[in-house]
Structure 1
């Protein structure tokens, strides 16, 4: 009888423990989220830090980052449903809005606020002057993309007409630009980090100018979600933006080495020293946003650059593409 009672007690305890474990497991289950990024670059440090430091996990999200190799491809992944979130240039959102797509994706957070590329040449030019590009060629990205349009904007600001004074090579896909330059195409190329620094350290090229410093502040990289996701799952959108904001705030006060170590899982072939130097460079040029909200003035400047490049069919209203409600809420918490 005593043995039977003990057995019953043990069985009851085991069942209770099992129930508690199952309950805890269900409550802590993370939601898998696919984020499609335009390319892999230290320029997007706040995103990688949000993953590695566990900010997304604290919001109940398991974020998988897929690299597409172009804003158009990131937008396609978002519209098709292959990705729930996308990191890309805001110009792609403007193009889609102007195509009349109903319930087009919306910008919910801004990550960077200037061009993140560097002009890399074949020779060291300690006294570089933009006039040096006259009669030369530059691999500049695809027409309609922010790297290409910002480069053209900078060239014009220095009195150089793209296509006349400077040949801007625009038929090479973004991921292949460095390889094309290394293979002998072009006199110069615009590269993002850590690629630019790796080219310089290996002697494959020399950084001669910072395109972002020349172009001034402009919304350059954003987080976008579908209108349907925002309408049907506002808590998910809020959680995602909250994680980004916390990472932005952490990056603001962290040391360059701390940022480098947080990013390294996403750049296994880059040393801490290289990533620290790159982080210092982007911080020194004030390239990162430390809050996710986009200003209307910045959005207007973005459309000015697109219009100057001849790629803007019509101006897009700020509120029809930018949703700052989630950014405003997390910043007010």
Structure 2
């Protein structure tokens, strides 16, 4: 074995999980929501080109601690404010899911489920109003896919909501990702449905979009569901899994038309994680280089401690490739 040409390389930077590092406008959105300047936020969202995925921005706003109090006042004062109705609904969903946690159903207490469902039912009423006032409002339909899943409304209802969203926004990545979750076995779907939907979205979308990330997410969920390490390793050794991931990456994050929209860090990280788990360090390295030191909780939290897993797999992939 040849010696390392650079035996004391400069350490790689620590992973950065701060969303604003990838999208600096997130800082402004948080600050503006904190002072309840809904007019400024509405103007910002209205500046998006037609067909944009505004659900990402709504989730950023919904993560601001205490924002529900100002939103309740806004909805009471202006009952037809679609933005406020949507963000308020998203905030209640987030609070409810925080109570439920991400644990499997068998590990969630009856009290947790009661509080979780109460928050989602209140959110559902707000979101129904939003989509009644503006049937084309993508972020409200995307959030209703979350409530459909959390309230166990069934695959047919989830698909109906997705179809209403897709009528106006046919390649809406957030909506696609939320329906994909519902199609996984843990939410009463099947792997055939999940993988089939992911591939359908990949092929239907224009090249350079985020839709290729759905293929990676389906494989990540399938890998996680297998549980035992030997079964997971056997799954990822299948040639078709590797081939599908390479194709999806080439049609999305590695396509010349790719422009790093909201959510790109999670998608790029999913490819990096899967190629790392497969053992294709060359492919993984390309995705880590694209990330720099940017990271997101998903998918790395599926592997263990997010920061530790990111560093471990990044350093392995990039070792000797400086």
TM bucket normalised to smaller: under 0.3
Which structure features the higher share of strand residues? 1
Q: Which has the higher helix share?
A: 2
Structure with greater contact order relative to length (CA < 8 Å, sep ≥ 6): 1
What's the TM-score once normalised by structure 1's chain length?
0.24
Larger Rg: 1 or 2?
Answer: 1
